[in-house]
Structure 1
Amino acid sequence: MRIVVGKEVVRVTEELENSYDVVVAGGGAAGLNGALMLARSRRSVVVIDAGQPRNAPAEGVHGLLARDGMPPAELVARGREEVRRYGGHVVSGEITEAVRDGDGFSIALADGRRVRARRLLVTTGLTDELPDIPGLRERWGHDVVHCPYCHGWEVRDRAIGVLNTGPMSQHQVQLFRQLSDDVVFFTHDGPEPTADEAERMAARGIRVVTGKVTAVEHGSGGITGLRLADGEVVARDVVAVGTRMVARAGFLNSLGLPAIDHPAGVGRYIPADATGRTEVPGVWAAGNVTELTAQVGAAAAAGAMAGAQINADLVEEEVRAAVAAGSSAVSGM
């Protein structure tokens, strides 16, 4: 298949070549921006995307300059076109294993295909684990939200309930209070607020409701309230909940790079330095797989950084090889 991008005709294929300079695992903002940097540097690069974006339920991407409100699927489609414009490949598939193969990697897909890469960029994102409360997941991404910067403007001035799900909930409730005068904090399964926390919430007019939340009530128009264990229903229009965020990168276990507990207690991630470099030589990570709280713009920027660093690493490897070849030629004269 061929598509027109600007004035160019670009070939679109699901076929994989035998090897690439770089395989990018994951085709969201981080992966596509990393691939764009690499393709523009004339690297052979393929993005392998399982098609499971974290932000699929959202109506639009927010906080992204010049693209605020754009539907997530449209942003991805545009990114794919740009990568392909420079000769990069984007294919559908799920990576199940990555193993060391000489000085590179052999990467297996669920459908039996296998591809080799000199370097690996992991941008597979994360999975949001929600509390097991009936009615909560059904409204996820609509009137069940997690990020005040991603969704806050859209729920401003509404009756918001913040569910206590972990160490970041006290921070979260104060951020949502910035967006609405009607905010209730539900202690749920967590401990009751400390004296200091209670004072801080009371000072800003945040009501505290104790007791376990057993259901999120909703009708055809959306959420109507939160039901407590004693049967009381507290009317709310919106529920804010901090999820447990878990990196989607089980295929890295075979490289000795498993996801580990995040020091903030918010989930599990793949550690990487500021450039995206992991502790495994040749493997970089960018986006939510390593920075659990990164928004789309930050994830894209991290992908660009990692792509540039990978290209520089490959250049250095090629320089060393050229110097060694030159030295060998001289010594053989």
Structure 2
Amino acid sequence: MSTSREDLLRYDVIIVGAGPAGLSAALILGRCRRRVLVCDSRRYRNDAAQLMHGFLSRDGVPPAELRRIGREQLAPYGVEIRDVTVVDLRAERRQFEVTLEGGERLVCRKLLLATGLVDRLPELPGLAEMYGKSVHHCPYCDGWEARDQPIGVYGQGCTGVALALNMKTWSRDVVLFSDGPASLPEADAARLARHEIAVREERIARLEGKDGMLERVVFTDGSAVARRALFVKARQEQGSELARKLRCEVTEERGVETADKHEETTVEGVFVAGDASKDVLLAIMAAAEGADAAFGINCALQEEDLA
């Protein structure tokens, strides 16, 4: 027998994603006495990271420990957490119907998408084993650990140039690997040379090292360059297609677009927080955006309740 919409379990807010953004929002909303469900797919962008950095009071803790603490601190406020993936969303009459894997359907008044991004890494032999240990995508997260060491940057075009120049903050010894013809504009080539950043255009065969720690970048001709860390400019994709299913505006450059200052998207009642909106991609910023979205959500609920 099918379940009617009137019989579905109802929440004030359903949060899709349980990283720093989703958990931070749940904490604020729980303290606002809202009925909140957090859906955790157990897929996290920083899963490969050994430690998390730049998060005040939690610098140097494993990402899983931050999530554990976050979950623990939600308990007094009655926030419900389920380890489940949301597979579909539908807007209808100023409410939202959420379908979970397995087919269960739920209804909520407001939605928060904290579904993050996925990094598409270069397909270099040896990279996967080193990712999160000596190969990284974020200098603000891991540059300090590579300070004053020989650093490599993998990237092409203006993005590779920009990342190579940025890495001079952490080391004087930076090499840009373009993995083929760099085809740099004269001004970019001159700027790299001025800052003593070598450009290696040879095709890369593999990364070599031990126990996840990079030792050298090996080219197809057998030659190699010794490096102790490699920073890559990864291609990023939305961690979920749910925003597009709801017809939120999503662009490759900016991610899920927001329409106002409290993280509401271009679809009324749908909010976004964390890396999915492609602002500053740091865990502490994701947590801050989650709190901001929670404020906006609760204000919207108050307006409805007190109309």
Q: What TM-score do you get using the length of structure 1 for normalisation?
A: 0.85
Farther off after superposition, 197-206 or 293-302 = 197-206
Does the alignment pair 1:270 with 2:261? no
Deviation for aligned residue 1:293? 4.1
- Equivalence for 2:5: none
Does the alignment pair 1:157 with 2:148? yes
Deviation for aligned residue 1:169? 2.0
1:1-333 maps to which residues of 2 (within 5 A)? 18-165=9-156, 167-189=158-180, 191-220=182-211, 222-257=213-248, 259-262=250-253, 269-273=255-259, 274-291=261-278, 293-320=280-307
Determine if contact 1:129/1:245 at 8 Å carries over to the other structure.
Answer: yes
| Alpha-carbon separation, structure 1, partners of 2:104 and 2:155 | 44
| Alpha-carbon separation, structure 2, partners of 1:160 and 1:98 | 44
Deviation for aligned residue 1:199? 2.1
Q: Deviations over 1:69-93 (max 9, x none)?
A: 1111110111111222211111110
| Alpha-carbon separation, structure 1, partners of 2:274 and 2:157 | 22
Greater radius of gyration (CA)? 1
Farther off after superposition, 140-149 or 193-202 = 193-202
Q: Which amino acid aligns with 1:286?
A: A
Structure 1 consecutive aligned stretches of length 4 or more whose deviation exceeds 6 Å: none
Change (3 A) 1:166 1:77: farther
Deviation for aligned residue 1:251? 2.5
Determine if contact 2:118/2:238 at 8 Å carries over to the other structure.
Answer: yes
Q: Deviations over 1:272-319 (max 9, x none)?
A: 143211111110001001125420111100010000000001111122
Determine if contact 1:287/1:302 at 8 Å carries over to the other structure.
Answer: yes
Gaps of at least 5 residues in structure 2 are 1-7
Determine if contact 1:164/1:190 at 8 Å carries over to the other structure.
Answer: no
| Alpha-carbon separation, structure 1, partners of 2:143 and 2:224 | 24
| Alpha-carbon separation, structure 1, partners of 2:212 and 2:300 | 53
Q: Which amino acid aligns with 1:272?
A: T
Farther off after superposition, 272-281 or 70-79 = 272-281
Name the count of aligned residue pairs.
299
| Alpha-carbon separation, structure 2, partners of 1:293 and 1:180 | 23
Deviation for aligned residue 1:229? 3.2
Determine if contact 2:119/2:237 at 8 Å carries over to the other structure.
Answer: yes
- Equivalence for 2:3: none
Determine if contact 1:250/1:259 at 8 Å carries over to the other structure.
Answer: no
Gaps of at least 5 residues in structure 1 are 1-16, 264-268, 321-333
Deviation for aligned residue 1:190? 6.2
Determine if contact 1:247/1:290 at 8 Å carries over to the other structure.
Answer: no
Secondary structure of 2:296's partner? helix
| Alpha-carbon separation, structure 2, partners of 1:160 and 1:127 | 24
Secondary structure of 1:312's partner? helix
| Alpha-carbon separation, structure 1, partners of 2:9 and 2:30 | 17
Secondary structure of 2:306's partner? helix
Change (3 A) 1:53 1:219: same
Determine if contact 1:245/1:292 at 8 Å carries over to the other structure.
Answer: no
Deviation for aligned residue 1:258? 6.4
Q: Deviations over 1:230-278 (max 9, x none)?
A: 3322221111101111111212333223643216xxxxx2111432111
Determine if contact 1:97/1:107 at 8 Å carries over to the other structure.
Answer: yes
- Equivalence for 1:323: none
